Chains A and B, each alone.
Chain A
């Protein structure tokens, strides 16, 4: 374990340096600072920053995109358009990598995800267009408000491991939204959904927000699936992660087609975050995630307020 700690420390120092560079950039004239910096510095810094972000995201139980967009747009010299494009690809790559394992173990349900995905992915396209058409400061203000809301949601929401669903509603029955999974103990847990219509309607809003801010939407998917529709927490988390691979795909195409993806910054972000996630999963066994979760909530609050501040031009 000592090896992991040493790596984490090295990466942490690099990330802290990255944040300092970014803050310095915004303190001074950004364009001048970036012009004076050799081109290879920012991708390298971004790679280490995202590596640490990947570790933290796993330990805190949040998606990479929700940390990536507010932090990178707040502390790096990139315009929000490119950060959102890269943010969607970061969330997409993470979801694609996690998808196979979740589907094979029945921890993500294809039949639960299908109807939700159609709604969320169509609305994500709309959200992406709205986000690209609105003035940057308006998007920045909305993003800041959303990030602060997510931080409060993480702080206050109490997910239920196995919600009680007394009766499956007719829509849920028609769409076959039920299934079973096996716990590590060997126990088989059967599940079904209720309040399906309001749940599906909420995915309109979730899709729009995912496309508009490039955040990924696990923070919203899980409470709707778990608390509203009565899906067990394990299936809600697994299906939500898988769902991102569909929702973010549609929005990512819009950003790609509009020129919002710069490979020089997007690829180090994707690879850094994925490597960080692999390390994070190994650290998870011995870490104290609760403490890290509170730390992430604090960071999100700070990043959200900074985004609001920038958007308001204060």
Chain B
């Protein structure tokens, strides 16, 4: 049996956003990393100090180095180390962007179950990204 298989249109759209977004994110990540490690932008935490902190639990690192939690890093975007979060956060946010395109596509097709699932997924990811949920850490 041989016949042409059609890939659903919303799946192609998702793939295209993922493709361009992923490579853009990785490119940004590499550029900002070089700006950081070659000292073109002064870091919030000195490079030599980080290598003394990374063997400790996250709680000690955050407390000892004045690392902001949640979205607090946005205020420190002028610092070399926190500029790196632009690429990282872009990659982590890409899935939300892709899912946002799925909702109207499924609504247009009257596939209500899929539209509902895609909406729930967007909400789950936004909740995780928001930093509203918090833990004490150790």
Binding site for B on A (CB under 8 A): 30-31, 34-35, 37-40, 42-43, 77-79, 81-82, 89, 92-93, 96-97, 99-101, 103-106, 110-111, 114-115, 117-118, 121-122, 125, 129, 132-136, 174-176, 180-182, 186-188, 245-246, 249-254, 256-268, 270-271, 274
Contacts and interface: CB of A to CB of B under 8 A. Distances in A.
Contact of A254 (B10, B30, B54, B133): B133
A188 B2 contact: yes
Contacts of A260: 58
A111 B105 CA distance: 13
B92 A259 contact: no
B125 A266 contact: no
9 contacts: A34-B55, A40-B47, A97-B22, A250-B125, A256-B92, A257-B70, A258-B69, A258-B134, A259-B61
Interface string B42-63: 0000011011101111100110
B38 to A, nearest CB: 10
Nearest to A43: B37
Given A104-B12, A274-B26, A78 B5 contact: no
Interface size grouping (class) on chain B: 35 or more
B128 A250 contact: yes
Contact of B114 (A39, A89, A176): A176
Contacts of A103: 7, 11-12, 14-15, 18
Interface of B: 1-3, 5, 7-8, 10-12, 14-16, 18-19, 21-23, 25-26, 29-30, 33, 36-37, 47-48, 50-52, 54-58, 61-62, 67-71, 81, 84-85, 87-89, 91-92, 94-96, 102, 111, 113-114, 117-118, 120-121, 124-125, 127-129, 131, 133-138
A254 B129 CA distance: 7
Q: Which applies to chain B's interface (DSSP): helix, strand, loop or mixed?
A: helix
Q: Chain B CB within 10 Å — which of A117, A251, A264 has the most?
A: A264
A262 B84 CA distance: 9
A246 B55 contact: no
Contacts of A40: 37, 47
Contacts of A259: 58, 61-62, 67-69
A266 B87 CA distance: 12
B19 to A, nearest CB: 4
Nearest to A97: B22
B82 to A, nearest CB: 8
Contacts of A257: 69-71, 129, 131, 134
A77 B15 contact: no
B54 A118 contact: no
Contacts of A111: 8, 114
B57 A136 contact: yes
Contact of B92 (A101, A114, A253, A264): A253
A263 B85 contact: yes
Contacts of B23: 97
A134 B92 CA distance: 24
A228 B12 CA distance: 28
A125 B128 contact: yes
B120 to A, nearest CB: 5
Contacts of B87: 267
A197 to B, nearest CB: 16
A182 B120 CA distance: 31
